[in-house]
A and B are shown apart, each in its own frame.
Chain A
Amino acid sequence: MEYEQEEHPKLQFPLDSNSYNIIAEIGAGVCSKVYTAQCLPINSNVVAIKSIDLDQSNAGFRNLVGRETNTSSLPSHPNILNPHCSFTAGNRIWVVMPFMSGGSLESIISSSSPNGIQEQCIAIILKETLTALSYLHSHGYLHRDIKASNILLDDNGRVKLADFGVSSSFYASSSVYRLGSSTFSSQYGTAPEVIHSHKGYSFKADIWYFGITALVSTKKFSETFQDMAASCLHKDPANRPSADKLLKHPFFESCNGTSKFLAENLLRGLPSVEERFRAASKILEKGVDCDPNGDWASGLLLNHRMSSIIEGNGNEDEEFEVHDPVFPVESTQAVIPCDDDGEEQQPAAGGRGNEVNAETMVNQLMALKTSLDDQKEKLNKIINQPGAETIDREDELEKENVRLRLELEREREHNLNLIQVINEEDPLLHQNERLRLELKNEKLRLENEKLRLELEKLKMHISATSNTTTDDNN
Chain B
Amino acid sequence: MSFSFFKPSRPKTPPEVAKAIKDSLNALDTKTVAEVKALEKAMEEVEKNFVTMRCMLSGDGEVEPNVEQVSQLALEISKEDVISLVVHKLPILGWEARKDLVHCWSILLKQQVDSKYCCVEYIEKHLELLDFLVVCYDNKEIALNCGNMLRECIKFPSLAQYILNSASFVLFFKFVELPNFDVASDAFSTFKDILTKHASLVAEYLTGHYDEFFDLYEKLLTSSNYVTRRQSLKLLSDFLLEAPNVQIMKRYILEVRYLKIMMTLLRDSSKNIQISAFHIFKVFVANPNKPREIKIILAKNHEKLLELLNSLSGKGAEDEQFEEEKELIIKEIEKVSRLQSLKS
Query: A residues touching B (Cβ–Cβ < 8 Å)?
Result: 15-16, 54-55, 58, 61, 64-68, 70-73, 75, 85-88, 90-91, 93, 139-140, 188-191, 194, 196-199, 342-345, 348
Contact = CB atoms under 8 A, between A and B. Distances in A.
A72 B317 CA distance: 36
B23 to A, nearest CB: 26
Given A73-B182, A85-B180, A87-B180, 5 more contacts: A55-B226, A190-B106, A344-B315, A344-B316, A345-B317
Contact of A66 (B61, B145, B180, B188): B188
Tell me the interface secondary structure of chain A in the complex: loop
B95 A75 contact: yes
B150 interface: no
Contact of A196 (B58, B96, B102, B269): B58
Interface in B140-156: 144-145, 148
B103 A196 contact: yes
A54 B61 contact: no
Contacts of B145: 73
A190 B180 contact: no
Given A91-B270, A189-B110, A198 B316 contact: no
A61 B235 CA distance: 13
Contacts of B58: 188-190, 196
A253 to B, nearest CB: 23
B106 A86 contact: no
Interface string B298-327: 000000000000000001111000000000
Given A65-B231, A90-B226, A348-B316, A72 B272 contact: no
Contact of A55 (B95, B271, B316): B271
B179 interface: yes
A198 B60 CA distance: 10
A66 B192 contact: yes
A196 B181 contact: no
Interface in B81-115: 95-96, 99, 102-103, 106-107, 110
Nearest to A12: B140
A135 to B, nearest CB: 13
Given A55-B272, A65-B185, A348 B317 contact: yes
B189 interface: yes
5 contacts: A55-B226, A66-B188, A85-B181, A188-B58, A194-B103
B225 interface: yes
Q: What 5 A-B pairs are tightest by C-beta distance, nearest first?
A: A66-B189, A15-B179, A86-B181, A91-B226, A70-B182
Contact of A54 (B182, B192, B230): B230
Contacts of A66: 185-186, 188-189, 192, 231
B111 to A, nearest CB: 9
Contacts of B199: none
A344 B318 contact: yes
Contacts of A71: 182
Nearest to B54: A196
B272 A58 contact: yes
Given A70-B144, A70-B186, A15 B180 contact: yes
B231 A88 contact: no
Identify which of B231, B271, B316 gathers the most chain A CB atoms within 10 Å of its CB.
B316
Contacts of B249: none
Contact of B99 (A72, A91, A139, A348): A139
Identify which of B99, B181, B185, B189 gathers the most chain A CB atoms within 10 Å of its CB.
B181
A188 B95 contact: no
B271 A343 contact: no
B227 interface: yes
Contact of A64 (B59, B185, B192): B185
Contacts of A15: 179-181
Given A139-B99, A194-B102, A88 B110 contact: no
A68 B61 CA distance: 22
A54 B61 CA distance: 38
A88 B225 contact: yes
B323 to A, nearest CB: 15
Given A16-B179, A66-B231, A68-B189, A189 B107 contact: yes
B312 to A, nearest CB: 15
Contacts of A191: 106, 148
Contacts of B271: 55
A444 B226 CA distance: 54
Contacts of A343: 316-317
A198 B144 CA distance: 25
